[in-house]
Structure 1
């Protein structure tokens, strides 16, 4: 059963005019591409269920290509997934009355219980554009009359570069997607990571915080290109001691690498519709991409991918093995799990619409406000309950 969806009170929206559509976007933005599964999770002829922006979806790989349909028969609204029936490779049949649809287009091509119905060939179940790239399956969550724009406009720069080898894994997190975005882009939350095993594993220096130079924030708002906020950490003034009433109670971690490799993250950027890129992370010469994909009001699909430049298949294989043997346990499970813990705590507060107006942000949160405002200016539509 689909979870009930609630509107945001219009009186609250009027209080944040510069980012009101962001506040309204509990279920994310429409007319954007989102990763919905890793490619390896959908085998040939396999049917996989997923939920994106509150819409329940079925995915199937047919002759190598993935297709996506709304998991709801147009006749009486029952989910196909309650009892899957596929009598031919290219169709799916509703178990209730035999309404049969083509995976490729969603067209109603037969009704087993009423083969002479005039509805055949004239009606369709919603189908979604699908594109695979870099080991992920992307679905376009959009209006029927909107032609999907190129995928490159909804992923961070360099993600689609041919020489960037990517490996990743995913999690389901019980918090809103916006909480995920803001946790990832929050420069001050470095404080919670000082105990991460990644710090010593990579000989990384990690301060307890910093004073952000808000003037260094760069907005990317060029038509036809990804829209995002870029925060170059190199311009931050790091704090290596945390004090309470003048006494040092917490210290950052200072490591010195003997190979001359920089020991800190150089930059983070956050891009529509909700994906973070962190450069030189989890180590120098690597780039981490984190998607916070709306599932429901209080759940998001957290996809983490680590990329490295390669020049041949062997280097790509080495990166794959390094991901599973090193970065998966040390970085994803050892570092990013601390972020998941923080989001679960944040959701207890931000799960209420009014909480977004009760927060008390400070100077170091300037990038978060810029992110909200950018989303307000450049989103292509808000997913609302009437779309479901």
Structure 2
């Protein structure tokens, strides 16, 4: 377009008015920014039995990890060779205590990530010791490999301080499922602690086939230490909805609930004998949640845990554990029951309904209702705790090293310019270049 030409008129559409009650997540700015998860926490990555001397690739909080086992211990390194960007998880182990890139044999120590050898540059390679890849703290608990994703250069916190206390202090048996799923980790976490969905979404699950569920509750959220708890203040097993009709989860083939009692262990009614380890915890409510996204659902005979491990903005890893606090031969009975039925009913079809909802959730915008006090309480907890964690990481960060003042080099005396007759080589004219004989 020349300066004499005029631009075509453009049509501007009026801004669409915001609907009444429409909400975004600006009230929780750090939560809004945590699409790839919260750093500064331990995350379960995979089963310990899956980690061998052959490195494998995983992604946590957007960080690509190569995890490998050497001499019985698991290690995690940043999954990228600094030479040409090839994943170290595509490589193998050529020397004990190391992992080698498959492209040119750059070899890194597992303990500190230092470049220890470059196979294709010989034993005297000058680049060795000058480069490294980031390493990550690794622990093994509950039959799984856990990796700490740091905020900055802060040391890893104690994993036992992050795990539910009852798992640290008591013996039990674990059955579980680890599965990569679509949908953001925040949707999965909010679904797990959501007050209303279980009563309606899971009404068709086989796990609930013979178990009654309330129609609706009045719930309060109670903080206790690192956790927030959903406490059932009022429970209604059926209800008449004006102008619509009666609705209930009761069925003739389901167990009849004890409507005279409100149980804070489990959500299918009171009456079952509670395992003594579970009873000793004195949970204020049967559903609880803690950072960085750990759900705990206490039932009379077991506790169900869900860990929502961020992968990236659009995917997360679901880690579901069912823990029964039994010892001796009773472990065999639980394990047989879990493999024979529970794994497929509970961690399969029942949990699959959650996976479906998480995958199709699209928020914000959103319009919340009364039971969503569980969601807003969780976001408030996350916002507050992560602000404290960032402040601690910043306080730990050491000051950058102070470099000594650079000394100015002393001028070096140069030889005086020789007369042209002395500086010119025989057979070459002054001002000519000896290599070509051309003049400037």
In the superposition, the TM-score normalised over structure 2's length comes to 0.72
* Contiguous gaps of at least 5 residues in structure 2: 1-23, 259-269, 275-282, 392-440
Q: CA deviation at 1:71?
A: 0.8
Residues 230 and 269 of structure 1 are in contact (CA less than 8 Å); yes or no, is this contact kept in structure 2? yes
* Contiguous gaps of at least 5 residues in structure 1: 1-14, 222-226, 383-388
The residue that corresponds to 1:177 in the other structure is: 185
The residue that corresponds to 2:227 in the other structure is: 228
SS of equivalent residue, structure 1 residue 339 = helix
Q: CA deviation at 1:118?
A: 3.5
The residue that corresponds to 1:26 in the other structure is: 35
The residue that corresponds to 1:303 in the other structure is: 319
Change (3 A) 1:322 1:381: farther
Q: Within 5 Å, give how 1:345-364 maps onto structure 2.
A: 345-346=360-361, 349-350=362-363, 355=364, 358-364=365-371
The residue that corresponds to 1:329 in the other structure is: 344
The residue that corresponds to 2:98 in the other structure is: 91
The residue that corresponds to 1:49 in the other structure is: 57
Q: CA deviation at 1:138?
A: 0.6
Residues 36 and 61 of structure 2 are in contact (CA less than 8 Å); yes or no, is this contact kept in structure 1? yes
The residue that corresponds to 1:275 in the other structure is: 294
Q: CA deviation at 1:239?
A: 4.2
The residue that corresponds to 2:256 in the other structure is: 256
The residue that corresponds to 2:107 in the other structure is: 100
Q: CA deviation at 1:244?
A: 6.8
The residue that corresponds to 1:385 in the other structure is: none
Q: CA deviation at 1:228?
A: 2.3
Residues 45 and 89 of structure 1 are in contact (CA less than 8 Å); yes or no, is this contact kept in structure 2? no
Residues 213 and 237 of structure 2 are in contact (CA less than 8 Å); yes or no, is this contact kept in structure 1? no
Q: CA deviation at 1:311?
A: 2.8
Q: CA deviation at 1:125?
A: 0.7
Given candidates 174, 194, 203, the residue that maps to 2:203 is 194
Residues 208 and 242 of structure 1 are in contact (CA less than 8 Å); yes or no, is this contact kept in structure 2? no
Given candidates 350, 355, 365, the residue that maps to 2:372 is 365
Q: CA deviation at 1:17?
A: 5.8
Residues 176 and 321 of structure 2 are in contact (CA less than 8 Å); yes or no, is this contact kept in structure 1? yes
Pair 1:292 & 2:292 matched: no
Change (3 A) 1:270 1:244: same
The residue that corresponds to 2:149 in the other structure is: 141
Q: CA deviation at 1:252?
A: 4.1
Q: CA deviation at 1:257?
A: 7.9
- Across the aligned residues of Structure 1 and Structure 2, the Cα RMSD in angstroms comes to 2.6
Larger-Rg structure: 2
Q: Distance in 2 between matches of 1:335 and 1:361?
A: 25
Residues 55 and 88 of structure 2 are in contact (CA less than 8 Å); yes or no, is this contact kept in structure 1? no
Residues 202 and 353 of structure 2 are in contact (CA less than 8 Å); yes or no, is this contact kept in structure 1? yes
Change (3 A) 1:286 1:178: same
Q: CA deviation at 1:176?
A: 0.3
Residues 185 and 270 of structure 1 are in contact (CA less than 8 Å); yes or no, is this contact kept in structure 2? yes
Q: Distance in 2 between matches of 1:381 and 1:16?
A: 20
In the superposition, the TM-score normalised over structure 1's length comes to 0.81
Q: CA deviation at 1:134?
A: 1.0
Q: CA deviation at 1:262?
A: 6.9
Alpha-carbon deviations, 1:107-149, whole Å to 9, x = none?
Answer: 1101123343443123211111100011111100114521111
The residue that corresponds to 1:39 in the other structure is: 48
The residue that corresponds to 1:224 in the other structure is: none
SS of equivalent residue, structure 2 residue 161 = helix
Residues 218 and 230 of structure 1 are in contact (CA less than 8 Å); yes or no, is this contact kept in structure 2? yes
Pair 1:376 & 2:383 matched: yes
The residue that corresponds to 1:3 in the other structure is: none
Residues 80 and 94 of structure 1 are in contact (CA less than 8 Å); yes or no, is this contact kept in structure 2? yes
